[in-house]
């Protein structure tokens, strides 16, 4: 590694000053409740319950009629404000509970708020029952049910994928599109308030997609089913079509509050405006600096232009972070202040600390992951931490590949929070490559063919049916050879089949990294470029990134067999892990994307991959000139970069006590700089080091370990307990080979300047 030390500044920066937020001053009870004798009892009762509100929070809680924006910085007590304002309306303003609507985005958040409201002083159980504290979907589904909608809900994403696959086959597009791609695109159109008729159909691909959408809608109507987007779309249509229903809803819900307002999409916002149109009592709470869901339809302009939509709106800025220490809060301030399209605010902290965010610069993502995993183990074994104290955050699934493997190899319990079937090796560009390698090892491995056939531009269903028919009558030839007799094949397709057979025979003796390169150079990159419908599943740049990371992973192995075995074992371990409970009390590290981490907090956070082309992602850096799917949102480079910077800010502000930021020096086989977001956070830097830092002396030690006897396997497991040391035998967790006791030399990372 270039350098395995933890530093107080990022690699390339020497600065006499490190970011640190100002401490928030303590406010007296008189300051907190000044100006409202009639409500003093309420705030005093809150105080007795251990709930103290600062002046900005108190202003928001006291708000009566009219629109209001609570601009809530990270960790600033937004939920407390929404809960206490609800209590204030009930206990002080004597508003009937049935007139109050509080909407949020997750069932968990809604349940937590209702529980906290119930615990407030002076709030009766009857009032809590009458309150409407719901998610957007729950609230509007209740509306639909009340209007006679009795369709069955489609609650499984996997089931929706199956239906779309069937519709693709019916339309003759089997294998041409990924179901999750079409569903995501369709959802994006609908949440931007576009009807099916209004969706674009300007080129053959859009016409095909629109045709699949029509088939999906026809299926839902025929089967009498609704998906989650239908809830909002049908509710909106109802409110538009029935003035009587809209008026009834407006008269009932006279006080409307919206949580996480920055995450609302245009359709949700439009419905909130409709419900509050007669009284304008719309209270919204959110943070423009945490708008990171543009791919789901969220638009930062909605929260930024709230006062333009409602010129009489009042506002309070919640600028005290109660979650993070002053150094962590200060780093967040310095990172996000470089965004220009935002409401200016500088957060203060209530937690003074001498523990500063630390940075590390490993050579590769694999070395970065090794260092982070070893540090987690050290803290658990020596610092009294539990595994549940830790979160490892990453920008993309590709970056998490190395961390996933290291946590597994170190036998560290962890929960991976990713999209369904989106473990790195399960991503569709990877599966096709891996199945080619499996077919190279065993040309009769039919299970690999469904991913191989589309790359030969052969219909998956027809090809597999042809092979099965021939094998059923005793044909013994290899499947790719059998396919050459498939009816309707053109001469060039037969030639491609023969070329692919020859290529697979060449791949088997090669080193896996060279085998993957060979496939990409020979046909796969060209196939991806030609197959625009497939590549739209993720940015084209993202597809290349994923394949480059696959090459990096394969580079650790000497044979195709060893690599494929390793991947297969990892996939099986992933399946097993997904079956584990994700209960709150599970003592396990959380491995998740930054997007999934939003709204959560952890004592210790590792942000991995804080390097250029990872965070900010290469697709954002190149957004202004690319033709990628990202352009469907008309994102300029500046807009895309600002969302990436907000992602970095969200990652930073998940940490309560300790924050570690890794910036690998190489990614996708190329040298990469430390993320600009963290270099910008040090405006007082006196020197930028462009050469690698002078190698620090490494402390090494010999540890007892179980070593895999399979020479193709890289696994070893440190002996940590007396029980482990007394075992007579052990099986490798990856390749299942026998392990034997031995010794391993390990590097201990040096910690410098962690405190001052």
Known binding site for ATP: residues?
72-79
d(CA 611, CA 667): 9
Which residues carry a binding-site annotation? Answer: 72-79
Q: What is the spatial distance between Cα 500 and Cα 622, in angstroms, rounded to a whole number? A: 34
* Calpha distance 114→456 (Å, rounded): 56
3-state secondary structure of 261: helix
Give CA separation, 722 vs 63, 253, 704, in Å.
62, 64, 11
Q: Which pair of structure tokens corresponds to residue 147?
A: 């209007």
How many Cβ atoms sit within 10 Å of the Cβ of residue 316?
Answer: 21
Residue 673 near residue 609 (C-beta atoms within 8 A): no
Q: State how far the Cα of 512 lies from the Cα of 115, in Å rounded to an integer.
A: 54
Judge contact between 27 and 19, C-beta under 8 A. no
Closest alpha carbon to 664 in 595, 611, 588, 736: 611
Question: CB of 167 within 8 A of CB of 215?
Answer: yes
- Short-list 141, 231, 162, CA closest to 191: 231
- How far is residue 110 CA from its own chain's centroid? 21
Query: What is the CA angle 281-283-285, rounded to 5?
Result: 170
Per-residue DSSP letter, 446:
G
Cα separation values, 626 from 481, 611, 632, Å: 40, 21, 11
Q: Is the dihedral of CA 715, 721, 725, 728 positive or negative?
A: negative
Q: Which one, of 344, 462, 396, lies nearest residue 614 by Cα?
A: 396
Q: Is residue 325 a contact partner of residue 77, using CB atoms and an 8 Å limit?
A: no
CA torsion through residues 447, 450, 455, 457, sign: positive
Q: What six digits make up the tokens of 303?
A: 């929260």
Q: Which residues pair with 738 in a beta bridge?
A: 731
Q: Residue 719: which residues within 8 A CB-CB, separation 6 or more? A: 703, 704, 705, 706, 725, 741
Measured CA to CA in angstroms, residue 716 lies from 450, 704, 745 at distances of 35, 10, 11
Strands (E), 191-270: 225-226, 255-258
Q: Which two tokens stand for residue 617?
A: 């992602």
Element holding 491 (H helix, E strand): helix 491-507
Structure tokens at 705: 């370990």
CB 349 within 8 A of CB 21: yes
Query: What angle do helix axes 428-441 and 491-507 make, rounded to 10 degrees?
Result: 70
């Amino acid at each position: 590694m270039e350098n395995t030390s933890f530093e107080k500044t990022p690699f390339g920066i020497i600065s006499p000053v490190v970011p640190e937020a100002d401490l928030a001053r303590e406010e007296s009870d008189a300051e907190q409740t000044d100006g409202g004798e009639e409500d003093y009892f309420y705030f005093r009762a809150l105080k007795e319950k251990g709930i103290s509100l600062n002046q900005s929070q108190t202003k928001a809680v006291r708000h009566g009629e009219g629109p209001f924006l609570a601009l809530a910085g990270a960790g600033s007590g937004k939920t407390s404000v929404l809960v206490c304002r609800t209590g204030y309306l009930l206990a002080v303003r004597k508003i009937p509970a049935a007139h109050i609507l509080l909407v949020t985005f997750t069932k968990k958040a809604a349940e937590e708020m209702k529980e906290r409201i119930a615990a407030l002083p002076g709030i009766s159980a009857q009032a809590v029952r009458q309150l409407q504290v719901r998610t957007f979907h729950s609230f509007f589904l209740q509306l639909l049910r009340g209007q006679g909608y009795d369709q069955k809900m489609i609650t499984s994403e996997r089931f929706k994928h199956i239906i779309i696959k069937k519709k693709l086959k019916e339309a003759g597009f089997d294998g041409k599109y990924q179901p999750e791609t079409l569903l995501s695109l369709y959802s994006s159109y609908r949440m931007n308030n576009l009807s099916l008729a209004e969706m674009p159909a300007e080129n053959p691909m859009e016409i095909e997609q629109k045709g699949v959408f029509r088939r999906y809608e026809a299926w839902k109507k025929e089967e009498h089913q609704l998906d989650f987007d239908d809830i909002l779309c049908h509710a909106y249509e109802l409110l538009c079509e029935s003035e009587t229903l809209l008026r009834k809803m407006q008269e009932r819900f006279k006080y409307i509050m919206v949580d996480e307002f920055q995450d609302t999409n245009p359709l949700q916002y439009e419905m909130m405006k409709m419900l509050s149109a007669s009284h304008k009592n719309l209270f919204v709470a959110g943070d423009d600096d945490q708008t990171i869901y543009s791919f789901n339809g969220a638009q930062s302009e909605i929260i930024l232009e709230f006062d333009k939509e409602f010129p009489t709106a009042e506002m309070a800025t919640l600028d005290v972070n109660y979650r993070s220490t002053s150094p962590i809060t200060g780093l967040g301030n310095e990172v996000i202040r470089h965004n220009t399209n935002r409401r200016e605010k500088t957060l203060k902290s209530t937690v003074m600390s001498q523990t500063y965010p630390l940075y590390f610069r490993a050579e590769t993502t694999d070395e970065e992951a090794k260092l982070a995993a070893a540090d987690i183990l050290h803290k658990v074994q020596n610092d009294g931490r539990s595994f549940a104290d830790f979160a490892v955050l990453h920008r993309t699934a590709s970056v998490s590949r190395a961390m996933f493997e290291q946590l597994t190899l170190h036998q560290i319990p962890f929960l991976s929070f990713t999209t369904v079937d989106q473990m790195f090796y399960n991503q569709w560009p990877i599966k096709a490559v891996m199945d080619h390698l499996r077919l190279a090892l065993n040309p009769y491995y039919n299970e690999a063919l469904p991913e191989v056939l589309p790359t030969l531009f052969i219909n998956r269903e027809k090809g597999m049916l042809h092979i099965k028919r021939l094998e059923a009558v005793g044909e013994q030839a290899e499947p790719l050879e059998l396919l050459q007799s498939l009816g309707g094949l053109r001469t060039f397709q037969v030639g491609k089949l023969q070329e692919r057979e020859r290529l697979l025979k060449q791949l088997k003796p090669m080193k896996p990294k060279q085998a993957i390169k060979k496939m990409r150079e020979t046909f796969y990159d060209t196939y991806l470029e030609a197959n625009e419908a497939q590549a739209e599943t993720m940015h084209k740049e993202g597809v290349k990134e994923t394949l480059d990371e696959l090459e990096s992973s394969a580079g650790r192995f000497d044979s195709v067999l060893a690599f494929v075995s390793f991947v297969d074992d990892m996939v099986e371990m992933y399946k097993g892990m997904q079956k584990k409970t994700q209960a709150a009390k599970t003592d396990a590290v959380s491995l998740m994307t930054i997007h999934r981490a939003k709204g959560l907090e952890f004592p210790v956070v590792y942000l991995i991959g804080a390097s250029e082309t990872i965070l900010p992602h290469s697709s954002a850096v190149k957004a202004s000139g690319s033709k990628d799917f990202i352009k469907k949102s008309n994102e300029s480079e500046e807009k895309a970069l600002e969302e990436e910077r907000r992602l970095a800010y969200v990652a930073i502000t998940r940490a309560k006590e300790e924050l570690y930021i890794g910036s690998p020096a190489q990614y996708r086989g190329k040298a990469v700089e430390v993320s600009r977001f963290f270099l910008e956070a040090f405006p007082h830097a006196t020197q930028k080091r462009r050469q690698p830092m002078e190698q620090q002396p490494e402390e090494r030690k010999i540890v007892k370990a179980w070593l895999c006897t399979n020479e193709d396997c890289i696994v070893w497991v440190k002996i940590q307990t007396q029980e482990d040391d007394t075992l007579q035998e052990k099986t490798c967790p990856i390749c299942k080979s026998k392990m034997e006791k031995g010794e391993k030399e390990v590097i201990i990372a040096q910690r410098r300047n962690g405190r001052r």
